[in-house]
Copies of this chain bind each other. A is one copy, B any other.
Amino acid sequence: MRKVAVIAIGYTKVKEHWGLSIRDLFTEAAIMALNEVTIDRVDALYVGNMSSGYCQHQEHLGALMADYIGLKSPPAVKIEAAGASGGMALREGFQAVASGLHDFVIVGGVEKMSDVLTPDITYAMAMAADQEYEAFIGVTFAALNAMIKRAYQHKFGVSDELMATLPVHCHDMASKNPYAQYPFKITVEQVLSSPFVAEPLRLLECSSPADGAAILILCPLEKAKEFTDTPIEIVGVGAATDAIALYQRDDLTTFKATIEATNIAYKMAHIKPEEVDVAEIHDSFSVTGVISLEDLGFFEKGTAAKAISEGEIAPGGKIAVNTFGGLKARGHPIGATGVYQAVEIVKQLRGEAGKNQVDNAEIGLTQNIGGVGGTVTVHIFRRVR
């Protein structure tokens, strides 16, 4: 199996892009990445996306985007795994290079939800849940996560105030990130006075519908130095699934798929959780992020929210997390999110994270979730000396 590196990145600002189509967004991010390196061909393209069929009435995104960004007829495909579509696209791109089948692979993620009305976005999101046993009954995606929050707070006795600290942290980080959807600070008081989306989840604990696209260009590590002075190696790749319907779970306060994916990735990378310098985790809702910080091995069960309140995930703390704002504040363009996370880790490990830079970051991790923990991908990245 060949070693694989990221040699270029691209991304758009995350926001409601009323003036750009889904193909425009993808192209903007791809051009940024293609301008970073001089390569004479692209061997394959992966497009992470969840809802183009529903929101744009457009499938066949692989071939469409390959043509639209000017590639010369590479194999191209859309990868769908709900909110983990981007992470799974990266995984497939990794395999394409690792296998020896391809040298230069573009991994992209794109989502454009603002082409449909808000009720339709709610409807599209619910397709990540179990249609027959959950969505059909009328439960929304936020409501499923609200049940998780209630179970988590009940089991561990964590206060509303502590749960609010993750979104506050993420907005702090996003306030210095020009491409973030919400580049401003918020307070715990604002979180706790924002309206309920699905009790006990309040508006400022939930990521919002967003449009955006992000791109990575991969190649074999051995060739990477020909194209960039700062290649970033992908040293760990883990993914796992779980029953997507909550009624099938033994425990709502941990995501089994995160634990499995994490173990695989750590083992492959030969590292321990405490060696990770910077992590981008999937905080689609406050509780999702809190649970993830624990499942990833960074904090003991039930203690992550308290650790956040003590500054442990801020730069300079135990581990820097969501340094560009995470899903809550950088934004969560569903199928693009996993790729944004990887882009941000690459920026950190290159030392190009600007005001968000973590000192001397060497090892980074991304965790991307589909549904309510139904699919989880974990990737570990390392600076090449």
Residues on A facing B (Cβ under 8 Å) = 1, 21, 23, 50-51, 53-54, 56-64, 66-67, 73-82, 88, 91-92, 95-96, 98-101, 123-124, 126-132, 135, 237, 239-244, 248, 256-257, 260, 370-371, 374-375, 377
Name the one of B60, B81, B96 contacting A62, with C-beta atoms under 8 angstroms: B81
22 contacts between A and B (CB under 8 A): A57-B123, A57-B131, A58-B130, A59-B127, A59-B128, A60-B128, A60-B129, A60-B244, A60-B370, A62-B88, A62-B375, A63-B81, A64-B374, A73-B240, A74-B240, A74-B241, A75-B241, A77-B79, A77-B81, A77-B88, A78-B79, A79-B80
The 8 closest A-B pairs by CB, nearest first: A99-B99, A75-B239, A63-B241, A63-B374, A60-B82, A59-B127, A78-B80, A58-B131
Copies of this subunit: 2
A260 to B73, CA, bound (A): 8
A237 to B91, CA, bound (A): 19
Known: A58-B130, A60-B81, A63-B241. 15 other contacts (CB 8 A): A50-B59, A53-B124, A57-B123, A58-B132, A60-B82, A63-B243, A64-B130, A64-B244, A74-B240, A76-B241, A77-B92, A77-B375, A78-B81, A79-B80, A80-B80
The A contact surface, by secondary structure, is: mixed
Interface centre among A60, A61, A127, A130 (most CB of B within 10 A): A60
Closest CB of chain B to A244's CB: distance in Å?
Answer: 5
Question: In chain B, what residue has the closest Cβ to A55?
Answer: B53
Contact B63 A244 (CB under 8 A): yes
Q: By the criterion CB–CB under 8 Å, are B77 and A77 in contact? A: no
Contact of A66 (CB < 8 Å), options: B76, B241, B371? B241
Q: A77-B81, A79-B79, A132-B21 are in contact. Are A375 and B241 (CB under 8 A)?
A: no
Contacting pair B98 A101 (CB below 8 A): yes
Determine the distance from Cα of A377 to Cα of B58 in the docked complex, in whole angstroms.
Answer: 20
- By a CB distance below 8 angstroms, the chain B residues around A257 are 73
Q: Taking the nearest CB of chain B, how far is it from the CB of A4, in angstroms?
A: 10
Chain B positions within 8 Å of A374 at CB level:
60, 63-64
A239 and B92 CA atoms in complex are apart in Å by: 15
Q: Tell whether, in the assembled complex, residue A1 and residue B100 are in contact, meaning their CB atoms are under 8 Å apart.
A: yes
- Rounded to whole angstroms, the CA-CA distance of A56 and B132 in the bound complex is 9
Report how far A181 CA is from B19 CA in the complex, Å.
45
A47–B103 CA distance with the chains assembled, in angstroms: 25
Say whether, besides A99-B98, A101-B237, A256-B73, A242 and B63 are in contact (CB < 8 Å). yes
Which of A62, A79, A127, A375 lies at the interface centre, i.e. has the most chain B CB atoms within 10 A of its CB?
Answer: A62
Q: Please, which residue of chain B has its CB at the minimum distance from the CB of A375? A: B63
Closest chain B residue, CB of each to CB of A242: B73
Q: Which of A81, A96, A242 has the largest count of B CB atoms less than 10 A from its CB?
A: A81
CA distance A91 to B248 in the complex (A): 32
A82 to B92, CA, bound (A): 18
Q: A57-B131, A77-B92 are in contact. Are A371 and B63 (CB under 8 A)?
A: yes
